[in-house]
Amino acid sequence: MSEATERTPVDVAVGVLIDADGRFLLTSRPEGKVYAGYWEYPGGKLEVGESVEQALRRELHEELGITIGEAHPWRIELMDYPHARVRLHFCKVYDWRGEFEMREQQSMAWQTLPVAVGPVLPGTIPVLEWFAEERGFSGATHGN
C-alpha cells in the first residue's frame, strides 16, 4: 500500500457557483498556499462538527464576502496531492447575495468551457470534465 493511500483524507467543501448565463466561478489560490496561482473552485476544509453546507457557507463568506443560498450536493472526488489526501465535496450554488470581495488577495474569473485561465488545479480538472459531459462539450476543457 502506498503512503498516499494510507493517509486519512481531509474533507473539503467546494462551491461550484453558476450564474444565470451558465458560467462558473474559478478563483486563484493565494500566495503562501500550496499550489499558489493555480485556479480552482472556491471552498475550504470542514471544521469539527460542520456539515458540508455549513463549511461551504462559512468559507465562501470568509474568502469571497458572499452569503450563499442553498448548496446542491453534486459529486465527491478523492484526490491525492503530494501534501495531502483530500476528499472534495462539490456543491452547485445558483443563489448568493453580496458583492464579491477577494479577501485573500486571490483573483476570480467567470468561465465557460474551455476555461481561459490557468494553470488549473488537478482537483478542478474532473469538474471541468463533468461540465463537458453535462453540456455536450467536446475538446480540451483547459489549457494545462
Q: Is the pLDDT of residue 5 over 60?
A: no
Global pTM reads: 0.92
What CATH number should be reported for the domain whose range is 3-112?
Answer: 3.90.79.10
Give per-residue pLDDT as tens, 94-110: 999 999 999 999 999 99
Find cell 447575495 and name the residue.
97
Yes or no: say if 53 and 61 are a contact pair by the CB < 8 Å rule.
no
Yes or no: say if 28 and 102 are a contact pair by the CB < 8 Å rule.
no
Q: Show me where the domains of the chain are located.
A: 3-112
Yes or no: say if 71 and 52 are a contact pair by the CB < 8 Å rule.
yes
Give per-residue pLDDT as tens, 108-142: 999 999 999 999 999 999 999 999 999 999 999 99
